[in-house]
Amino acid sequence: MKKPTYIGVIGAGSIGCWLGGRLKAAGHEVAILREEERIKAPHENLVIKEGEEEERVQVPVLSALDPKPDILLVAVKAMFLPDVAPLIAANMSEETLVLPLQNGVPYWFMKDETIVDVDPVGSVRTAIPRDQTIGTVVHAAVSRQGDWINVKKADTLLLGEVDGGTSERVAALTALFRDAGVPSEEDEDIRRAIWYKIWGNLTMNPLSALTRETMDRLLADEQLLVLVRGAMEELREVGAAIGCPIEQSVDDRLDVARTLGVFKTSMLQDLEAGRPLEWKALVAAPRAIAKSKGIDTPFIDSILGLIRLLDRSLA
């Protein structure tokens, strides 16, 4: 990929500002893209804090990109994708690569089917051509407070072709992020990597919001872990049925989650900020896939019922 690259960021929250900010600091041209009526200032002045290191970057905020960007990072919560679909479509050329960075089941997960929990009328998959979409998994824990982007953990940004395998363009993107200080790897089977990430997000995110607990305290409660383990085993069964097997043990996965320590999941951050919760992509969509395979998921059903009602109570 040529350098500097022109990169647009839709969704200037924790993940969008972390990735966009790092790319800007590495010398690329980066702009945050918002609808005209949502622009409050011509620039975002960001401070990316990771460990002891603080990196300051200024990123312009625009309502249209000209020329069209080489890359569009889409980092809104999954339920806002239909809202930003027109903005994405209006700001991409036939060469633009789109990286949806959401947790949960992505709108492109099934090749020939619309996933109604994330793309109710199919407008997202219509707006973003499949052959210009790169699959991603964000293994990181980031929060935004004002101008501060706090990177608690930056494990790996996984990138892969949505229909499997990697490619020259995936290799180039991976190098781009890595050179900008974002640990990044090519992934041969991004759908499987996505299912594996859902293993954590379907359980931790809703339960952290429901209990208002940080990861350390959540994962220390043996009774709550009955629900977590049950849902994870159900997801394993569904994964095996859709070509996304999970081989790790539940306890090994929980140990990885424990390394986050005192961290509020993105869903708990939303709850505390009075924002809507991202439960459809994280819980309803995996459950719908389970149902389509005839797999019963009583533990997942329980989490779905609880988080749906919590979200409704906030409306």
Ligand X SMILES: NC(=O)C1=CN([C@@H]2O[C@H](COP(=O)(O)OP(=O)(O)OC[C@H]3O[C@@H](n4cnc5c(N)ncnc54)[C@H](OP(=O)(O)O)[C@@H]3O)[C@@H](O)[C@H]2O)C=CC1
Which string of DSSP letters, residue by residue, matches 193-244? HHHHHHHHHHHHHHHHHHHT--HHHHTT-HHHHHHHHHHHHHHHHHHHHTT-
> Token digits for 47?
């401070």
The region of 12-20, 162-170, 175-183, 231-239 touching ligand X under the rule CB under 6 A is 12-20
DSSP 12: -
Please give the Cα distance from 13 to 16 (Å, whole number): 5
Q: Which of 19, 65, 81, 142 binds ligand X (CB under 6 A)?
A: 142
CA atoms of 91 and 70, how far apart (whole Å) = 10
Residue whose CB is less far from ligand X, 6 or 80: 80
Footprint of ligand KPL (CB under 6 A): 103, 141, 200-201, 204-205, 265-266
Q: Which H or E run contains 153?
A: strand 148-161
Catalytic hit among 152, 197, 264, 280:
197
Amino acid residing at 22: R
- Among 7, 8, 13, 285, interactor with ligand X by CB under 6 A: 13
Residue among 129, 128, 104, 132 nearest 118 (CA): 104
Quick check: 43 binds ligand X (CB under 6 A)?
no
Contact 45, 56 (CB under 8 A): yes
For ligand X, the binding residues in 20-39 under the rule CB under 6 A are: 34-35, 38
Structure tokens at 187: 């992934």
Q: Is 131 in the site for ligand X (CB under 6 A)?
A: no
The residue (of 98 and 277) whose beta carbon lies closer to ligand KPL is: 277
Q: Smaller CB distance to ligand X: residue 62 or 241?
A: 62
State in angstroms the smallest separation of the CB of 158 from ligand KPL: 13
CB of 77 to ligand X, least distance (A): 5
Q: Which is nearer to ligand X, 96 or 143 (CB)?
A: 143
Site residues for ligand X, 163-202, by CB under 6 A, read none
- Taking every pair of C-alpha atoms in the chain, what is the biggest distance, in angstroms? 55
Return the closest-CA partner of residue 175 out of 157, 189, 153.
Answer: 157
**Does 197 qualify as catalytic in the annotation?**
yes
CA distance 299 to 230: 6
* 266 is an interface residue for ligand X by CB under 6 A: yes
Select from 7, 15, 57, 271 the one that contacts ligand X (CB under 6 A).
Answer: 15
From the list ligand KPL, ligand X, none, pick the one residue 200 interacts with, judged by a Cβ distance below 5 to 8 Å according to partner type. Answer: ligand KPL
Contact map string, positions 267 to 286, toward ligand X, x by CB under 6 A: -----------x--------
CB of 199 to ligand X, least distance (A): 13
- Our CB check for ligand X shows the closer of 18 and 299 to be 18
**Binds 190: which of ligand KPL, ligand X, none (CB < 5-8 Å by kind):** none
Q: Give 146 or 298: the residue with its C-beta nearer to ligand X.
A: 146
Three-state SS at 132: helix
How many helices (H) and strands (E) would you count in the chain?
A: 12, 9
* 55 neighbors 20 (Cβ within 8 angstroms): no
Residue positions annotated with a catalytic role: 197
